[in-house]
Structure 1
Amino acid sequence: MPKPTHSNRSPRIPEPISGELRIIAGSWRGRKLKFPALTGLRPTPNRVRETLFNWVQASVQGARCLDLFAGSGALGLEALSRGAGSVTFIDNATQAVRQLRDNLQLLKADNADVQTAAAMDWLQRHELGAAPGYDLVFLDPPFNCDLLPQACELLESRNLLASQALIYIESESALGTPLLPDNWRQLRSKTAGKVSYSLYIRDPGTDTDPG
């Protein structure tokens, strides 16, 4: 009887499984795109995304958008599919940025800019008045990191917003209403389980002087 053989090789560690997101509507409707399996990366669910874009549908066409803490890029990609003029994607995870660039290349999108940077560093480096303000901003920071109040303050103080910009915020429902600039007014808000999502408009009647 042959003796059993023994291998000195360590058992193979399985590769992380990539996730998949689907574009809901627009020119890329139904397209499925991959995103890397990274800790804390959680694309906005389809139902929430659909609600958000029902809220902003009249303002997406031609809009200059910012997807801060982009992750999978689900929100910015949905905006591009629905006719946004351009989207700037910001994320500090190299794998996420690489996959997002691959997805944009696959979609032949030439009106997107993807930058590898920590969101706060990127906001603080922005030169006042360097470019027209963003019309639509998506803010979905990592949970349990307390980044939202500072990100909102920097968006305002660094003059990154158009006069009547729309700002979408996704955060832990346990936090309640975050501390926001005085000239942001809430338009819509919903809660789904442990996540709250809200839409704000910047009131042009109370513009602040960046100094």
Structure 2
Amino acid sequence: MTRLIAGTAGGRRLKVPPGETTRPTSDRVREAVFSALDAADVLEGARVLDLYAGSGALGLEAASRGATQVVLVEAARAAAQTARANVAAVGLPGVTVVAERVERFLASPGAALEGGWDLVFLDPPYAVESSEVATVLGALVPLLAPAATIVVERSSRTAEPVWPGEFSDVRQRKYGETSVWTARC
């Protein structure tokens, strides 16, 4: 079990998908990431895209802290079902789950949002190749709002993502086996 850290649904417990293919972001890492996002005033009223959503913990945390629209994208059937159950249990408005491969979703008309996405979480399974992460980052560029924030979570053993030229102010933080990069578009 994991829980939402703060906001209107703070303390609520979330289910995690069964099996070993999904690696939930630890409470410690989520708390650090969201403290930084809160300090940067990124969350209030944000439109959030949570790619490789797993249980939906990152997107639901954003909704709990003031994001108005959150889309959780997850291809694994069991993980998407868990995310849907968590969305229903938490009951925050404006959160939807899309059960689809990230690449396919980003190429679909449903990915384009008037004004663009303000905040994107990219937390693929550690087994996802760096080249796939680079492709996803490139596909995101035309879908983002001006000054959008991107948060990428990977293994600390993984090299820094290859950022398209539109991204700047890249910062890395390490939390044990987890590295988190934050960038602005």
Q: Give TM-score, length-normalised by structure 2.
A: 0.91
- 1:129 CA drift (Å): 5.4
Answer whether contact 1:188 1:198 (CA < 8 A) is retained: yes
RMSD value, Cα: 1.6
Match of 1:88 in 2: 71
For the pair 1:76 / 2:59, whether they are aligned, the reply is yes
1:28 equivalent among 3, 6, 9: 9
- For residues 112-191 of structure 1, the aligned pairs below 5 Å read 112-126=95-109, 131-146=114-129, 147-156=132-141, 159-191=142-174
2:30 equivalent among 33, 44, 49: 49
- Length, aligned pairs only: 181
For the pair 1:199 / 2:161, whether they are aligned, the reply is no
1:111 equivalent among 83, 89, 94: 94
- 1:127 CA drift (Å): 6.8
Unaligned runs of 5+ in 2: none
User: How far, CA to CA, are the matches of 2:166 and 2:91 in structure 1?
Assistant: 37
Q: Give TM-score, length-normalised by structure 1.
A: 0.80
Match of 1:208 in 2: none
User: How far, CA to CA, are the matches of 2:160 and 2:183 in structure 1?
Assistant: 12
Aligned-pair identity in percent equals: 36
Answer whether contact 1:170 1:197 (CA < 8 A) is retained: yes
Q: Looking at both structures, which has the greater relative contact order when contacts are Cα pairs under 8 Å and sequence separation is at least 6?
A: 2
SS in 2 for 1:89: strand
- 1:89 CA drift (Å): 0.6
Unaligned runs of 5+ in 1: 1-19, 203-211
AA matched with 1:115: V
